[in-house]
A and B are shown apart, each in its own frame.
Chain A
Amino acid sequence: MTLSVALGPDTQESTQTGTVTSTDVLSAPDIPWNLVIWNDPVNLMSYVSYVFRSYFGYSEAKANKLMLEVHKKGRSIVAHGSKEQVEQHAVAMHGYGLWATVEKATGGGSGSGSGKGKGKRG
């Protein structure tokens, strides 16, 4: 996964807290969770975009699109996965200073209103 590429050994401590690391064994049947990034007036748009590109390995276009969604709509779902996966992402985002939360994916749209990106993750 992109995690080890994006985070150097010195910032990886945030993911080493014992039980939270066994994400590999979880697969399809798990309930999907969303990683949500919230807007705030402090984080630079360039920085948010940089974090999406370098941490998730997203293209420039995708990173900018998600960043603008955060900026304009107040929040954006930027990744999906098992609970453990999105929690690990959330800690990494907190490490970067982004305001991230996790939430259970709901079939009928989770309030972000866009309805896009369902199950797009590989």
Chain B
Amino acid sequence: MAKAFKYGVKGITGYLEPAERELLRSLFGDVVSMLEPEERANQDPLAALVGLDAEAREPSDRALRRLLPNVSKNDDAASLEFRRYTERSLRESKMGALKAASLGLDKDELVLTPSDARHWSMALNDVRLVLAERLDIRDDEDAGHVHLMQDWSQAEDVESYLALVYNFTTWLQESLVQAMLQSLET
């Protein structure tokens, strides 16, 4: 069973069972694959190098749209233009955090530097955003309903399994953020 993250003399530490690390590694990997930009045959290599993507569009997948949201609520043209300048690097910075967190999963005992902790909290947050879309969490009531699912012996279908995974990552992120908040005090 995982132990909650703690802040102490060594920094932020935590402990995960091998099966939990395996689960997180696959979740982080899944979100990385969602974020991989599509390769386009006629892409301008120089533009790609500086992070421009003239063909970027609002993602059709809801979860991906939540990870890469529009920057304007009402102005779609402005959002699209902004996306062309920034989306590629946003994808890359998210993938960077997810991969960094994944690399840290090689040991049972986790000892996180402040920068590791930030990557972990971002990675867990992105995983939860994606799971929440798959679970159709639209409001606090939905979230409360999903939260009731705590018993792994009840995992009988994909939906209940996802809910348990969501609750596990929520618990883990909450404990990590509490440790990070504590580290801000000192």
Interface residues of chain A, those whose CB is within 8 Å of chain B, are 8, 10-11, 13-20, 36, 41-44, 46-47, 49-50, 53-54, 87, 90-91, 94-97, 99-103
Stretch at the interface among B8-16, B104-112, B132-140: B132-140
Q: A13-B89, A41-B143, A47-B121 are in contact. Are A54 and B126 (CB under 8 A)?
A: no
Residue of B nearest to A42 (CB): B132
Q: A43-B125, A50-B180, A90-B71 are in contact. Are A17 and B96 (CB under 8 A)?
A: no
**Alpha-carbon distance between A100 and B82 when the two chains are bound, in angstroms:** 13
Interface residues of chain B, those whose CB is within 8 Å of chain A, are 50-52, 66-73, 82, 85-86, 88-90, 92-94, 96-97, 100, 115, 118-119, 121-122, 125-126, 128-129, 132, 137-140, 142-143, 170, 173-174, 177-178, 180-181, 184
- Whether B143 contacts A101 by the Cβ 8 Å rule is no
- Whether A47 contacts B69 by the Cβ 8 Å rule is no
Q: A20-B86, A47-B177 are in contact. Are A41 and B121 (CB under 8 A)?
A: no
Q: A41-B142, A43-B125, A97-B122 are in contact. Are A54 and B170 (CB under 8 A)?
A: no
- Whether A44 contacts B173 by the Cβ 8 Å rule is yes
Q: A10-B115, A42-B143 are in contact. Are A96 and B86 (CB under 8 A)?
A: no
Q: A10 to chain B: which residues have CB within 8 Å? A: 93, 96, 100, 115
Distance between A13 CB and nearest chain B CB, rounded to angstroms: 5
Distance between B170 CB and nearest chain A CB, rounded to angstroms: 7
- Whether A96 contacts B122 by the Cβ 8 Å rule is yes
Q: A10-B100, A53-B184 are in contact. Are A101 and B70 (CB under 8 A)?
A: yes
Q: A41 to chain B: which residues have CB within 8 Å? A: 132, 137-140, 142-143
Q: B177 to chain A: which residues have CB within 8 Å? A: 44, 46-47, 50
**Alpha-carbon distance between A13 and B139 when the two chains are bound, in angstroms:** 32
